[in-house]
Amino acid sequence: MTTKTHTMSKQGAQTIEAQPRFKQRSYEIQQYGQLHAMPLSLPESAIKQNVECLNQLVADSITLYNLYKKHHWQMTGPTFYQLHLLLDEHAEQIEKTIDLLAERVQQLGGVTIAMPHDVAELTKIERPPKGVEDVPAMLSRLVSAHATVIQGVREGIELSDKNKDYTTNDILSSEVLPLQEMQTWFISQHLVDTPFSSMKEEG
């Protein structure tokens, strides 16, 4: 099979139609913060509130995900193997909820936050140092980050219920909140100051 070509000039120069057109750029067809209309039977003001709330949760969840990956890679100490695996498992689970939240923003007619520099500007989670902290500090930082996300999720549940956005409410209450609470429990139990290999003798 031959490639279809056609003449582009009087001199008989030819172009290949299958050639990709690289370095294309465009103006923004929808700016961040703008809504396009969707037939969802919800007031625009309610949709705007829900999109802003969801984008905050996307930013904080992405930050939490990256915090988990940072600590997964930088884990040290006698519980390295167990925590290395646990943190990676939690990160994978959070990644799935990020997708749910981001897609819900788009379903509502909004524009989801996405790029790292934009996420860094929006997140409410404290920025960690570049270097390695000790294990208790890593885990404490994760619990604090979870607390930030959980607060935002609970606010989102109340807001989406008030705005009668039942799909967003269901995502937050049945998918995101239970996972955040469970992961907080798992991580916080590693911070209990209990003997690892010995106990006091009676008498």
Please give the structure tokens belonging to residue 73: 């890679």
pTM metric for this prediction: 0.88
The closest alpha carbon to 61, from 174, 180, 157, 158, belongs to 180
Helices (H), 78-203: 80-107, 116-122, 135-162, 166-170, 177-188
Fold of 44-190: Ferritin (1.20.1260)
Residue 15: in which H helix or E strand, if any?
A: strand 14-16
Q: At residue 2, does pLDDT exceed 70? A: no
pLDDT tier at 30, thresholds 50, 70, 90:
very high
Query: In the predicted model, what is the mean pLDDT of the chain?
Result: 92
Q: What is the pLDDT of residue 76?
A: 95
- What average pLDDT does range 158-187 have in this prediction? 98
pLDDT tier at 203, thresholds 50, 70, 90:
low
Distance (Å, rounded) from C-alpha 101 to C-alpha 11? 55
